[in-house]
Amino acid sequence: MTSSFWLQYILALVVVGLMLGGLYAVVRGLARGRVLMSSAHRLITVVETTMLSQHSSLHVVKAGTKYYLVGASNGHVSTLGELPPEEVETWLADQRSRFDAQKNTIAGAVNALRGKR
């Protein structure tokens, strides 16, 4: 085997690795945007989830126009309280603007690589 074969082999592995990394980043970005954008069209939506331990978590749930803090653990779910809609909607607007900025940055980088402005 020649050294050019190994060089091409390593280059091919690097390209595949970059493609997998890019695909992972795109899928994560689309998943975040889909969750944020589809919540406006549903009656009941889990807005945010935070794991507290292996078997317990906190959820912010939107039901109609109200937001609730819900605790869940091993088959038990309980409402912990109601959250002020202004606070949650401000947070959602901030997350949407961050997502849009990230999307525009990624699109700009891709267009720059393609030679477009």
Together in a domain, 48 and 36: no
**Do 19 and 31 share a domain, yes or no?**
yes
* pLDDT at 21 exceeding the cut of 80: yes
Do 70 and 77 contact (CB within 8 A), yes or no?
yes
Average pLDDT over residues 90-113: 80
Contact predicate 68/82, CB 8 Å: yes
Question: What whole-number distance in Å separates Cα of residue 6 and Cα of residue 14?
Answer: 12
63 bridge partner residues: 44, 66
Residue tagged 């126009």 (tokens): 65
In this structure, the answer to whether residues 54 and 30 fall within a common structural domain is no
Per the prediction, the chain carries an average pLDDT of 83
Q: Provide the pLDDT for residue 37.
A: 53
Give this prediction's pTM: 0.53
Q: Measure the CA–CA gap between 78 and 56, rounded to whole angstroms.
A: 11
pLDDT digits (tens, 9 = 90+) for 32-83: 665 455 556 778 888 889 999 999 999 999 988 899 999 999 989 999 999 9
Q: Are residues 78 and 96 in the same domain?
A: no
Domain identity same for 25 and 49: no
Q: Are residues 79 and 93 in the same domain?
A: no
Indicate whether 28 and 55 sit together in one domain.
no
Q: Which domain holds residue 1?
A: 1-40
For the chain, the domain total comes to 3
Same domain for 47 and 79, yes or no, is: yes
Residue 103 and residue 97: Cα distance in Å, rounded? Answer: 10
